[in-house]
Chain A
Amino acid sequence: MTSARRGNPVLLGSAGLAGLLLLLELLPRLGLVDERFLPPTSRIASALADEVSTAVFWQSLGDTLYAWAAGLLIAVVAGVLAGLVIGSVPVLRALTASTVEFLRPIPSVALIPLAVLLYGTDLGSTLLLVCYASFWQVLVQVLYGVADVDPVAEETARSFRFSAWGRVRYVLWPTALPYVFTGFRLAASVALVLAITAELVIGSPGLGKDIATAQASDAVPTMYALIVVTGALGVIINLLTRTGERRLLAWHQSVRGEVAV
């Protein structure tokens, strides 16, 4: 079990990616897959190069990222506030539990027709879907976090006659913080999925709409290039949020396994 025999994971991983690119180049070249359906890697790469040199691409990328960030921000603020309030008042918690359990699994795409009626193909449509989907991720994690408060810590704070605000500031918030980050991380990737989905299906401005346009106009390499961009965005968001979470919570005694939802 020496590490020499195990191989370098970075090297092996790069080899895997290179292998995928090569495979996608060869499949259509050898005629195993119709080139009209799956263009070779090189054609996708050149389409990508063409795309990034246009202003339209950057505009779309900006639109998508804006919808993602704005929707995520609203969802996180609303989710954290609602979570802290509901979580720290037992009656509210009991009252809302069934409603949360009912609303959470409702597929966000069910709201697409409604969004179209309310906002047409504007940014608002995207925001509605992004906010709805990411809100639940944050809310549920914050609720877990508040429930995780150590009763001994809470009683200690009470016995030292902390004010209500002091208890939130020094007991509730530090306990819930790791969960807030987990919620943020989950919400960040859900928000991207919903932003692209809304653009794709509704036609609100952004990368998703460009994918639909490319498909409709038979610009297959461009379509693949844009899909690669959305995948790369997803990877970057995952990496950033995961690293950020680890950094910011390094002080915390328990960077725990996330609560499965």
Chain B
Amino acid sequence: MDILKKAGLAIALPIVLFAGWFWLSDGSENFYSPPLRTILTAFGDTWTLERLRTDVAPSLLRLLAGFLLAALIGIGLGVAIGLNRRLRAVLEPVLEFFRAIPPPVLVPVIMLFAGIGDGMKVIVIVFGCIWPILLNTVEGVRATDSVVLDTARAYGVTGPARLTRVILPSASPQIAAGLRQALSIAIILMVISEMFASSNGLGFTIVQFQRSFAIPEMWSGIILLGLLGFALSLLFRLAERWALRWYEGLRAAQRRAG
């Protein structure tokens, strides 16, 4: 009963909004906001399997490559910087500056170096989303509990095990927060790099629709992008919850203890 009620509350508003949009836009003569019925038809016609293969798959692959590369480099450098007090003091202002640069302005810069191919887009994504990962890793590593470090030393947990069994797990909640921020930046950069210069991809296709005034198709593209953003963040949250279940439990236990 309780679950039913919860589910009802969860889907009520989306249904109302969807129905409202459908009903209000039905018979709409406005060129820019066509009836939802038309948009949905366009969605089915536009995003065929073929289209998904030629436009959506390349986008997603570039996104994945850029994000994973940024995670690898960001966590690696972050651990090195976080463990070295002096290095951290030297690099902190530089890193803060790089983080503060709005990532999309990197697109024109990296186009100079890497042209307009796949390489450029992956590099743009790496450059744009590495900073939150890097800075959060530094912060997480730096904040490792002193008793945890003492314990590791006293029991001879040194070398690689110190890194993999102590420092990385201890910093992992911070690192996950950085990865989460990085993911949304990566999606933005994926779209923008394609809007700038591309011959395929989701961003490119949507802008093509807009320029050729294929309005229902453009709307369907926006919806697809929205669904994609939602699905990726959902996947990330599931992965995070699984990987950090100890952290959730720990926090709950601490809250109970007050």
Residues of A within 8 A of B (CB): 6-7, 9, 12-17, 19-20, 36-38, 91, 94-99, 102, 105-114, 116-118, 189, 192-193, 196-197, 200-201, 208, 211-212, 215, 220, 223-224, 226-227, 230-235, 237-238, 260-261
B223 to chain A, nearest CB (A): 9
Name the 3 nearest CB pairs between A and B, nearest first.
A234-B100, A113-B210, A105-B233
- Residues of A near B89 (CB, < 8 A) are 6-7, 9, 12-13, 16
Do B12 and A95 have beta carbons less than 8 Å apart? yes
Do B9 and A118 have beta carbons less than 8 Å apart? no
- Residues of B near A116 (CB, < 8 A) are 210
B64 to chain A, nearest CB (A): 16
Q: Within 8 Å of chain A (Cβ to Cβ): is B157?
A: no
Interface of B, secondary structure class, is helix
**Which residue of A13, A110, A193, A212 contacts B191 across the interface (Cβ within 8 Å)?**
A110
Residues of B within 8 A of A (CB): 6, 9-14, 17, 32, 85-86, 89-94, 96-105, 107-109, 111-113, 173, 177, 180, 184, 187-188, 191-192, 195-196, 203, 206-207, 209-210, 215, 218, 221-222, 225-226, 229-230, 232-234
B221 to chain A, nearest CB (A): 8
Do B108 and A201 have beta carbons less than 8 Å apart? no
CA distance A233 to B109 in the complex (A): 18
CA distance A197 to B92 in the complex (A): 25
Do B108 and A212 have beta carbons less than 8 Å apart? yes
* Given A110-B226, A112-B195, A113-B206, CB of A200 within 8 Å of CB of B104: yes
* Given A6-B85, A102-B14, A113-B207, CB of A107 within 8 Å of CB of B104: no
- Residues of B near A196 (CB, < 8 A) are 102, 104-105
- Residues of A near B215 (CB, < 8 A) are 117
Do A94 and B6 have beta carbons less than 8 Å apart? yes
CA distance A112 to B210 in the complex (A): 10
CA distance A233 to B206 in the complex (A): 31
Do A98 and B108 have beta carbons less than 8 Å apart? no
**Which residue of B13, B99, B108, B233 contacts A215 across the interface (Cβ within 8 Å)?**
B108
Closest A residue to B176 using CB positions: A260
CA distance A96 to B215 in the complex (A): 29
* Given A107-B188, A118-B32, CB of A227 within 8 Å of CB of B94: no
B48 to chain A, nearest CB (A): 20
* Given A105-B230, A113-B222, A114-B222, CB of A235 within 8 Å of CB of B17: no
Do A200 and B105 have beta carbons less than 8 Å apart? yes
CA distance A237 to B177 in the complex (A): 21
- Residues of A near B100 (CB, < 8 A) are 189, 231-235, 237-238
Do A13 and B92 have beta carbons less than 8 Å apart? yes
Do B222 and A201 have beta carbons less than 8 Å apart? no
- Residues of B near A6 (CB, < 8 A) are 85-86, 89
Do A227 and B14 have beta carbons less than 8 Å apart? no
A91 to chain B, nearest CB (A): 8
Do A193 and B102 have beta carbons less than 8 Å apart? yes
Do A16 and B86 have beta carbons less than 8 Å apart? no
Do A193 and B103 have beta carbons less than 8 Å apart? yes
